[in-house]
Structures are given as C-alpha cells and as structure tokens.
Amino acid sequence: MLAYGRCRSDFAVSAEVACLLCKKQVAAGRAARAGGCCSRAPCGRFRGSWPGRAGLGPSAAARPCARRLFGAIANAACATPDSFTPPEVSKAAWAYAASALREGALFAAFAKTSSARINEFGSQGLANLIWAFATLSHQDAELQMALSEVAYRRMQNFTPQGLANLAWAYAKLFHKDEVLFSGIAEESLLQLSSFTPQNVANTLWSFAKVRHVHLELFGAASAHLQQHAGEFSTQALVNSAWAMAEVALYDEEVFGEVADAASRKIDEYKAQDLSNLVWSLAQVLHYDQRALLAVADSAAAKADTFTCQHLVCVAWAFALLSEQCGE
C-alpha cells in the first residue's frame, strides 16, 4: 500500500564539496574536467532526467544538408504561416523537433497561427504540437493556455500515447495547469491497462515534475509497475521510481520489484541511471542489499563516467541508507 509523506529532506551540496569528492574518486584528468564543471555550476538538489522524446523516438541532429533544407523551408514558411492547415502545422513542428532543429521565428509564427485556430486541431495534432514545442523548449504562454483548454474538453479522444505526451510536454515546459493535469489523470485511469511501460513512466515523471499528486493515479500506476517491472526499460524504471520518491509516495512491494528488476539489468545502467536509482531508494529509505551491492559494483567500475552531481548523489544515498539501517 502506498504511504504518502515518506521522504527525506532536500539534499544540496556546495561546489567545493562536489569537486573534492570528484578529485578523490576519479583519475586526475577526469577530476580536473569535472572540477571545472563544478566551479561553473554548483551541484544542487538532485533531479530526475528528462524521459527522452516521450516515446516518439530520439533523432540525432540533422545532417548539414538537411539543416540547410530545413532552414530554407523555415524561411519560406515564416512568410505565409497562415496558409498552413492545422494538421500541416503540427506535422511540420513535429518534424523540426524530431530533427532537433530550433527555428525560433518559425515556431513563433506557428504559435500565433495555432492559437487563433486551436479548435481546428485534432487530438493527435494537439499532442504532437505541444510535444514539439516542449522538445525544443519553446515557451508560448498564449498557445499553452489555448491548447490546454481544448485538450481538457477533448480528453476522452486522446490515446494513451497522446495522454502521456500531453502530460510530458506541459511538465517539460514547467506549465502547471491543475485542471488539465486532473483531466489527464482521470482519463489515464480509464485507459491505464492500455499504457505501455514508457507511457506509465512518462506520466508518473510528468506529474511528479509539476508536483501534482493524484493519489489514485499514482496508486494504479505503481500497481502496474509492480506487475510489469521486468518489462520496463532502464530509463522507464528509474524515472518511475524517481517520480514516486520525488512526491514522497512509498510502497515497499513496489520498490522491492524496482530494486529486483534493476539488479537483474544493472550492467545496462549508465552513470545517471545508477545515480537516479540509488537516490530514489534512499529518498524513501528502501534498503535492498542485493540492489545496493549491484549499484556499488557497477558505480565503482564506471566511476570515471560520473559527473560531480552523480558522485555526490551516490555517496549521499549510500551514507544515508547505511546510517538509517545500521549497516
């Protein structure tokens, strides 16, 4: 059963402490580079990672020839943005976001014309449009408000992927719309059996990111996670655990399944995955010796790939769990 409120206080360290730990843990050359990074940006409270491209598949930055083509298309489109139909706008925006190409002027033009014609977009078009803006971190308050109002009215028309993308996009844009997230939660509960593991992880991550704690949704999603933990990818598993820990929701059986699934796939975990995983376990004080030994061995072998924040987070988590459990 989920227990609400089980959470440690915020964890923060100074740049000096982070750099010192780096120098003690990694080779001199790596430590120098990490130390330089820390001197520019002090390590702060640990946060979970962005969950990729919300299940649509990452795309490397376009090749030079493609960038020239996309640039030319953007220039032409900016001249007559109102001539695009809503489906064309959402598809074009998706193409630029999937190609990791930022065209500020084009997206500003798309935002203006989309806000004026928002009721003409279908549910899939709305999800793709806001996903594209979020992927490229292009904020537009007018569009975000207009789209959220229409999306809320049509919530029952969204697919599981669309619901997860919608939540992810608004969370990444740091746009906390209580009404919209409540609507997403209610519809997600109705469709949860059709959610993929990535849909579940992205939804949990999004709600945690904006601190919208819908207990029924978290309870149902955590039960889904417990039953299907072995089907979750490394990132999906870690993001789900991070989300529950971030909002101080703890279920011993769920975190037990997470720890067990992680232990079986520990070789697949990268530095940030290991850091996020052990932070989540420590945040809810879940001590699992097998998982911690696996994390410790893997982290020791990959220490030269850790950033200052990762190193400090892992050290803090192990120290806290040892203190609390008397190990």
Helical H runs in the chain? 15-25, 28-40, 64-79, 86-98, 104-116, 123-135, 141-153, 160-172, 178-191, 197-209, 215-228, 234-246, 252-264, 271-283, 289-301, 308-325
> Would you give the end-to-end CA distance of the chain in angstroms?
26
Asked if residue 208 belongs to a domain, the reply is no
Range of the domain at 119: 57-203
Asked if residue 8 belongs to a domain, the reply is no
DSSP annotation string for 105-169: HHHHHHHHHHHHTGGGS-HHHHHHHHHHHHHTT---HHHHHHHHHHHHHTGGG--HHHHHHHHHH
pLDDT by position in tens, the chain (length 327): 666 655 554 433 333 333 444 444 444 444 444 444 333 222 333 344 444 444 444 454 556 667 888 889 899 999 888 999 999 999 999 999 999 999 999 999 999 999 999 999 999 999 999 999 999 999 999 999 999 999 999 999 999 999 999 999 999 999 999 999 999 999 999 999 999 999 999 999 999 999 999 999 999 999 999 999 999 999 999 999 999 999 999 999 999 999 999 999 999 999 999 999 999 999 999 999 999 999 999 999 998 999 999 999 999 999 999 887 655
Residue 47 is predicted with a pLDDT of 41
Residue 61 is predicted with a pLDDT of 55
Asked if residue 318 belongs to a domain, the reply is no
Task: Rounding to the nearest 10 degrees, give the CA dihedral for residues 77, 80, 81, 84.
Answer: -90
Asked if residue 24 belongs to a domain, the reply is no
Number of domains in the chain: 1
Asked if residue 173 belongs to a domain, the reply is yes
Among 242, 241, 194, which Cα is nearest to 46's? 242
CA distances from 300 to 137, 206, 212 (A): 35, 31, 36
CA distances from 94 to 80, 123, 326 (A): 18, 14, 52
CA angle in degrees (0–180, nearest 5) for 227-233-238? 85
Asked if residue 155 belongs to a domain, the reply is yes
Asked if residue 271 belongs to a domain, the reply is no
Asked if residue 105 belongs to a domain, the reply is yes
